[in-house]
Structure 1
Amino acid sequence: MEPRDVRAAGAVVTRKGGEVLLVHRPKYDDWSFPKGKLDPGEHAVTAAVREVAEETGLDVRLGPVLAPQRYRMSNGRWKSVAYWTARVVGNDDVARYRPNAEIDAVEWVPWKDVGERLTYSYDRDTLAEARPLRRRTRALVVLRHGKARSRGAWRKDDRLRPLVRLGETQAQRLVPLLAAFDVTVAHTSSSTRCVQTVTPHAEVTGWPLKLYDELSEEDASTEGVVDLVDSILDGDPSSAGGAVLCTHRPVLPTVLDALQVPDVELEPGAMLVAHHRKGRVVATQVVEP
């Protein structure tokens, strides 16, 4: 039986002025994008942010997803690399980077020179895909609440139906995923299972948590959902942060229709990340829990 692919994640990090972040590995004498293998049990989204930080010293937030790379390594095994576009949060100066045995140089390279600097043809393909997506966007994460107690076994008001232990675990694991997309505010149904899903992120980060009856199964209306989605898309342009909107399966089609994106089925704890710019969604990705 063929061994499983080695899984890795990374990012094409860009900055204003038209430059791309590249790293040099002395072991292979190659120039590439920052990337690295997933830790056991780690989500690729989290790994991409972590690897960029470890290899460059820079903290990034992810933009639109790119096509994955898959290639054969020198030992004969296959490697699959998940990639996103990304922007630096805070200082993007790499002048103080300390070279080490794994990465001995980190440089911002102008777009016109990146293709020649990159060692591998598959990285040049990824660069070409990233170029039209390099403009800054904000993320609106449409989230279905985590796994909740069964409706049939719950005798009280359904608004009070809580998460089960699996749902609580999903909520905890959402914290770094939402942070990776720069979520700085949570808009959630006022029902308990939705509030519990986004509360860990609010508690860890300190970002605000806003409750809405109009996102609940009982009180949702097309007008209320559309107004809320429009207000998020048309939010303060000076604020670079993203948002999460947590709701229920029956309400999701209305949310996605308001975003003017195709309907998708989201499992409990799964999310659709909609990257938008100037009130228009430019890219989407489904992220499983």
Structure 2
Amino acid sequence: MSPASPPTASATRDVLAAGAVVLRKDAVLLVHRPRYDDWSFPKGKLDRGELAPVAAVREVSEETGVRIRLGMPLASQRYPNGNRMKSVSYWVGRVVGDPDVGGYLVNDEIDDVAWVPLDKARKRLSYSFDVSTLKEALAVEHRTHALVVLRHSHAFSRKAWRKDDRLRPLLSTGRHQAERLTPLLSAYAPSRLVTSSSLRCVQTVAPYAAASGWPVQEVDGLSEEDATAGSVVEVVDELLQARESALLCTHRPVLPTVLDALGIEADKLAPGELLVVHHRKSRVRAVERY
């Protein structure tokens, strides 16, 4: 399976937006926009430099007051928007915390938010393409978990480092990269954080660990010096079988073994680049690349 990458501003002139089909029991979260008098999924435009998954989570929170994590990616929508086209990236959304929308303060943009029963949602939705997206979301509604496979951020040059390579730290650009990873990782909300014990990997996951409060597990068997096929496969299998989303951070030479264990074909990841592997019952269902 090859990973899919979302459109970027440099690759399209479309207006870029993102949102989520947030499912809960037998209901879906919908919003009403008075300007258009329509019912649709919470969504909105990407801010400058913002990645689509980050925008999707932010927009759902802003338009409904509900915090979510992203599940399976869905087909994007593309339709006319004035004299341009609009491209909307969607995911299945899962509620994190309180699903109550009773306290949402309505405004000129969104004047109603509701959990609509699925048997009524198709009629409530104003657009046929939203009905199709809901149908797709329901077809993949079985809960999946995400395994985020991350290559550590930019580190000091190996040639310029005279000490133990395990202690080679991130550059200032790498530390900035690590900070910028936090909102993207938060969109998928991994709660199990596993990393190579080498300092550059530990430093890469540290900002997200601090923001989320989840502990970091350092594993020698994911380091360049100590990784073996057996140690890597053991970690990957354990994370696939766990009933939680997880983050695995390692090194370029170790990544092929990780991807082989997952059955994924991918080009080399750049420093700070990651794959989001959606899985259920140890089977990979979808892959995204950022």
Normalised by the size of structure 1, how large is the TM-score? 0.91
Counterparts of 1:109 and 1:92, CA distance in 2: 13
Q: Which runs of 5+ in 2 are unaligned?
A: 1-11
The equivalent of 1:252 in structure 2 is 255
2:36 matches 1:22: no
Q: Is the 8 A contact 1:257 1:263 kept in 2?
A: no
The equivalent of 2:15 in structure 1 is 6
1:128-177 Cα deviation digits (max 9, x unpaired): 22222212222111111112222233333222222222211110011111
Counterparts of 1:100 and 1:14, CA distance in 2: 23
1:72-99 Cα deviation digits (max 9, x unpaired): 21x3122221111111112212233332
Which among 106, 112, 126 is matched to residue 119 of structure 1?
A: 126
Which among 183, 191, 198 is matched to residue 190 of structure 2?
A: 183
The equivalent of 2:139 in structure 1 is 132
Q: Is the 8 A contact 1:188 1:210 kept in 2?
A: yes
Q: What aligned pairs does 1:202-221 form with structure 2 within 5 A after superposition?
A: 202-221=209-228
Q: Is the 8 A contact 1:71 1:79 kept in 2?
A: yes
Q: Is the 8 A contact 1:187 1:210 kept in 2?
A: yes
Number of paired residues?
279
2:56 matches 1:48: yes
Q: Is the 8 A contact 1:185 1:243 kept in 2?
A: yes
Q: What RMSD over aligned residues (CA atoms) do the two structures have, in Å? A: 1.7
Q: Percent same amino acid among aligned pairs? A: 60
Which among 93, 97, 104 is matched to residue 86 of structure 1?
A: 93
Q: Is the 8 A contact 1:64 1:285 kept in 2?
A: no
* 1:112 Cα offset (Å): 2.9
The equivalent of 2:272 in structure 1 is 269
Counterparts of 1:104 and 1:244, CA distance in 2: 38
Deviation larger for 57-66 or 77-86: 77-86
2:233 matches 1:226: yes
Counterparts of 2:94 and 2:188, CA distance in 1: 10
Counterparts of 2:166 and 2:77, CA distance in 1: 44
Deviation larger for 160-169 or 55-64: 160-169
* 1:281 Cα offset (Å): 2.3
Q: Which runs of 5+ in 1 are unaligned?
A: none
The alignment partner of 1:249 has SS state of coil
* 1:256 Cα offset (Å): 1.6
The equivalent of 1:95 in structure 2 is 102
The alignment partner of 1:95 has SS state of coil
Higher relative contact order (CA 8 A, sep 6+): 2
The equivalent of 2:203 in structure 1 is 196
Counterparts of 1:243 and 1:279, CA distance in 2: 13
The equivalent of 1:243 in structure 2 is 246
Counterparts of 1:20 and 1:261, CA distance in 2: 32
2:60 matches 1:60: no
